[in-house]
Amino acid sequence: MTNERKSIHGEWSNRLVFILAATGSAVGLGNIWKFPYLTGENGGGTFVLVYLLCIALIGIPVMMAEIMLGRRGRQSPINTMKMLAKDENRNQSWVWLGRMGIVAGFLILSYYSVIAGWALSYVFRTGSGMFIGASTDVVNGIFGDLVGDPERLLAWHTIFIVMTMVVVARGVKNGLETAVRYLMPALFALLLMVVAYAMTTGHFMEGVRFMFMPGKITNAGVLDAMGHAFFTLSLGMGAIMVYGSYLPRGTSIVQATMYIAIADTVVALLAGLAIFPIVFANGLEPGAGPGLIFKTLPIAFGQMEAGTLVGTAFFILLTFAAWTSAISLIEPAVAWLVENKGINRLYASMYTGIATWLLGLGTVFSFNIWSDKTWSIPYIFKNYSFFDTLEKLTFNLMLPLGGLFIAIFSAWCMREASSREELDTSRWIYRLWQILLRYVTPIAVIIVFLKAIGAINS
């Protein structure tokens, strides 16, 4: 019976389109903006190692599970969970997993869009040649001026939200394919060019050592590494589940997941290799926080041959990568509105776009007029800026929690016959997947949570 379910939103035309779309969702600001600054803040090597372990042992099996649930339910995450809970004779409260995911996607997009706006604005900053030969101070100043100006941030945030909602309104299947098929490889090529430049700085090995030599890590750092494994693979909130719901039968979920996870990880590591040598060559601080790539890459573009051209192209492609991720962040919410509220995609996109834009104002202001204002969530976080609060809430809490429940549902609550049929893989891969989801993911997530709570309250 489940085999005949069809998505009312249509299907990907083939397997390649799905892989491209899911890679488009996975590869984004998480890889190029976030991974380097988290690595820098958490002291390098050990963080990278824990992140890679989390990708292999938690991220990959959870991604297979999400695609599988989506393809079996064929609806938005909320309705998919409702349907599957019924199929498997489980409690209807599993719909809360879908609900939490939709809220997480909405919260994440509200700040993701502001950061994507930075990338977009750097297209024009780099294009105007203002970084040619610029000193570290000048580059820092340009970044400071941007984030200090609420009007400019607001304008870029607005443009990015509109771009995202236009694509979502037309249906994610139209347009995504070209964007990902040509632009992702181009982004990859430009990253390689920056890595090549980084090799000429004389500090390349220092960057490599920073990234791969194990050192110290805090409990909060381990929590960051785990959260990042979910974030960078777009897991724990239903984005990959909803993309899975458009996946035609007969596609190998295991194989598709491996392609996506490998592409995503390679891009992140390349971004690190591009950025850290520049950090060390210019005496910058690896722990500079969210501004890290905007304070380092322009120095490279200002010095390298044809840097204005390369830099402009780079920020254009980074914006595209962010765009294809942003679309997947809001698709679960839009799919649900279309299914349950009887409105068409255009209106569903408009409403969610406006709501996300409004919430994004908080992040815009947290870098300037609200920079002294702090927020707390009782028992969870104390005294963070608006941006940090949203970011930590989603990244450190909601995504791992979503991943934990996805693991529990697919490996403990679903009948083996169902998951086996859907995954359709060899016996030992199935068993490995099951063991990782049954034991490794839940235990790891719970231990990391408990330790992090200890760290926050100590």
CB of residue 322 to ligand PHE, shortest distance in Å? 7
How many residues in the shown chain lie near ligand PHE by CB under 6 A? 15
- For 38, 99, 365, the CA distances from 229, given in Å and listed in that order, are 12, 21, 28
248: DSSP letter: P
Cβ proximity to ligand PHE: between 204 and 231 the closer is 231
Q: Is 55 in the site for ligand PHE (CB under 6 A)?
A: no
CB of residue 178 to ligand PHE, shortest distance in Å? 20
Interacting residues of 108 by C-beta distance below 8 A, sequence separation 6+: 237, 329, 390, 394, 395
Q: Is 239 in the site for ligand PHE (CB under 6 A)?
A: yes
CB of residue 416 to ligand PHE, shortest distance in Å? 29
CB of residue 238 to ligand PHE, shortest distance in Å? 8
CB of residue 255 to ligand PHE, shortest distance in Å? 20
Q: Is 39 in the site for ligand PHE (CB under 6 A)?
A: no
Scanning 193-201, 254-262, 325-333, 378-386 for contacts with ligand PHE by CB under 6 A, the matching segment is 325-333
Rounded distance between C-alpha atoms, residue 186 and residue 180, angstroms: 10
For 355, the token pair is 């709501």
Cβ proximity to ligand PHE: between 113 and 325 the closer is 325
Rounded distance between C-alpha atoms, residue 239 and residue 66, angstroms: 9
Q: Is 110 in the site for ligand PHE (CB under 6 A)?
A: no
Work out which of 75, 110, 325, 385 binds ligand PHE, going by CB under 6 A: 325
Scanning 233-241, 298-306, 332-340, 427-435 for contacts with ligand PHE by CB under 6 A, the matching segment is 233-241
Cα dihedral sign for 203, 322, 258, 241?
positive
Rounded distance between C-alpha atoms, residue 257 and residue 240, angstroms: 10
CB of residue 379 to ligand PHE, shortest distance in Å? 25
Q: Give, for 375, the enclosing helix (H) or strand (E).
A: strand 375-377
Rounded distance between C-alpha atoms, residue 76 and residue 105, angstroms: 13
Cβ proximity to ligand PHE: between 164 and 234 the closer is 234
Cβ proximity to ligand PHE: between 106 and 370 the closer is 106
Cβ proximity to ligand PHE: between 363 and 434 the closer is 363
Rounded distance between C-alpha atoms, residue 237 and residue 394, angstroms: 9
Cα dihedral sign for 325, 257, 438, 220?
negative
Go through 410-427 and write b for each residue having 16 or more CB atoms within 10 A of its CB, e for each that does not.
bbebbeeebbeebbebee
- Residue with CB nearest ligand PHE? 30
Q: Is 237 in the site for ligand PHE (CB under 6 A)?
A: yes
CB of residue 381 to ligand PHE, shortest distance in Å? 20
| Per-residue contact flags (x/-) with ligand PHE for residues 18 to 37, judged by CB under 6 A | -------xx-xxxx------
Site for ligand PHE in 285-324 (CB under 6 A): none
Q: Is 54 in the site for ligand PHE (CB under 6 A)?
A: no
Determine how many CB atoms are found less than 10 A away from the CB of residue 345.
17
Q: Is 232 in the site for ligand PHE (CB under 6 A)?
A: yes
CB of residue 59 to ligand PHE, shortest distance in Å? 11
CB of residue 439 to ligand PHE, shortest distance in Å? 25
- Nearest partner of 20 among 321, 349, 425, judged by Cα: 321
- Nearest partner of 273 among 154, 157, 191, judged by Cα: 191
Contact 326, 162 (CB under 8 A): no
Cβ proximity to ligand PHE: between 46 and 113 the closer is 113
Displacement of CA 414 from its chain's centroid (Å): 27
CB of residue 434 to ligand PHE, shortest distance in Å? 25
Cβ proximity to ligand PHE: between 35 and 433 the closer is 35
- Nearest partner of 265 among 233, 238, 236, 308, judged by Cα: 233
- For 111, 162, 280, 455, the CA distances from 316, given in Å and listed in that order, are 19, 16, 26, 39
Contact 307, 234 (CB under 8 A): no
Cβ proximity to ligand PHE: between 240 and 313 the closer is 240
- Nearest partner of 367 among 176, 144, 206, judged by Cα: 144
Cβ proximity to ligand PHE: between 27 and 211 the closer is 27
Work out which of 231, 243, 320, 370 binds ligand PHE, going by CB under 6 A: 231
Q: Is 234 in the site for ligand PHE (CB under 6 A)?
A: yes
Q: 384 phi and psi, to 5 degrees?
A: -115, 160
Binding site for ligand PHE (CB under 6 A): 25-26, 28-31, 108, 231-232, 234, 237, 239, 325, 328-329
